[in-house]
Amino acid sequence: MAFDFVTRSKQVVGLDIGSSTVKMAELRPVRKGGYELVSLGIEDLSPECIVDGVIISKLPVSDAISRIFAQQNVKNKRVATSVSGHSVIVKKIALPTQTQEELSESIRWEAEQYIPFDIADVNLDYEVLGESAATGNLDVLLVAVKKEKITDHTSVISMAGKNPVIVDVDAFALQNAYEVNYKPSTRSTVALLDLGASIMTINIVTGHDFLFTRDVGVGGHQYTDFIQKEFNLSFAQAQALKHGEPADGIQPSEARHIIESVNEIICLEIQKTFDFFKTTTTVERIDRMLVSGGAAHTPGLVETLAQKFDIQTEKFDSFKNVTYDSKRFPPSLIANRSPDLAVAVGLALRSAEE
């Protein structure tokens, strides 16, 4: 029992604070490599709360967090959250072979050339990925996040009376969710695409190996914005139309061309990312695309992506290897929201190594 207590006390609640919705997931390991859903919550935010990645109104966000925890009766206060967007830099860099001590001395200086902000304003983290005897180089994964971005997130969590013990990056949380659910045993290369409301995270992995990531400022909000402008609708009306419901006498079919035009913009950004990725790697092709985030539901998007890139493409299933009690969590809810919860599930998988 004591052991059980120890393991449980290390568990964290995954909390994905998106610009459109706050998503929470709590998991419990059940068998080797498998998990069970303990609690789950989603709360919508008004579009004015988080703008351009900045939490403008903290109170409604911390209230949403409080509501989620209260509704699900979540006792665990230890929260893992994540950040994304232009305040986050993730890069694989090659450095001359050196000792751990030398690296911890030189990393800030080395990092400076890759970071477009003042180094004093960022939190820096790194991980040695491996050493190449052939080149005499050390492959290092560099992660830099603007301090204000981190405090933005931790402060709303603290305001809700919770303890932010881990601040991760969306791309890595996504990869965690992928590894646990898809058990990548082969050397196949997969592009994980998380399409949120304002940010698209692209993470390219081979098996368990991280290769490349990029965040682009495009997402579900772009569809809503274009529809709003075209038909002179409110945000809520445009959102409804995008989700396939008539609004103000306008039929969803009339918005089809707008949705397609934004699909094109998204395809173009993915193409740019793939082109750049190709210049950095020896990997020949991407075998599969898995699309998560709320905007994965956009009518026709997955099909457009599959066609455009000629890559097997499907929606991400965050519960492929996660069991749940169907009396507590309606299977239809799980099925409908499964792609949206990828980052939250990935965060819930992190045990707290503070």
Ligand X SMILES: Nc1ncnc2c1ncn2[C@@H]1O[C@H](COP(=O)(O)OP(=O)(O)OP(=O)(O)O)[C@@H](O)[C@H]1O
Per-residue binder mask for Mg ion (CB under 5 A), 6-45, x = binder: ------------x---------------------------
Q: Is 181 in the site for ligand X (CB under 6 A)?
A: no
Give the binding range for ligand X (CB under 6 A) out of 106-114, 179-187, 237-245, 277-285: 237-245
**DSSP one-letter string for 252-282:** GGGGHHHHHHHHHHHHHHHHHHHHHHHHH--
CA angle, 317 as apex, 312 and 319 as ends, to 5°?
155
Across the chain, how many H-helices and E-strands are there? 11, 16
Q: Of ligand X, Mg ion, none, which one sits near residue 60, judging by CB under 5 to 8 A according to partner kind?
A: none
Shortest distance (Å) from residue 50 CB to ligand X: 7
Q: Is the Cβ of residue 244 or residue 331 nearer to ligand X in the bound state?
A: 244
Residues in 277-296 that interact with ligand X by CB under 6 A: 293-295
196 sits near Mg ion (criterion: CB under 5 A): yes
End-to-end Cα, the chain, rounded Å: 23
Give me the least distance between CB of 258 and Mg ion, in Å please. Answer: 22
Q: Is the dihedral of CA 149, 147, 157, 353 positive or negative?
A: positive
User: Which amino acid, one-letter code, is at 182?
Assistant: Y
How far is Cα 44 from Cα 67, in angstroms, rounded to an integer?
11
For residues 182 to 201, the per-residue mask of contacts with ligand X, x marking binding by CB under 6 A and - elsewhere, is: --------------xxxx--
The span from the CA of 146 to the CA of 144, in Å, is 7
Task: Select 49 or 107, whichever has its Cβ closest to ligand X.
Answer: 49
Residue in the block written with tokens 């080395």: 110
In this structure, are residues 86 and 217 in contact, taking their beta carbons and an 8 Å threshold? yes
220 touches Mg ion by CB under 5 A = no
Partner from Mg ion, ligand X, none contacting 298, C-beta within 5 to 8 A by type: ligand X
Residues at the interface with ligand X (CB under 6 A) = 18-21, 196-199, 219-221, 224, 239, 242-243, 293-295, 297-298, 340
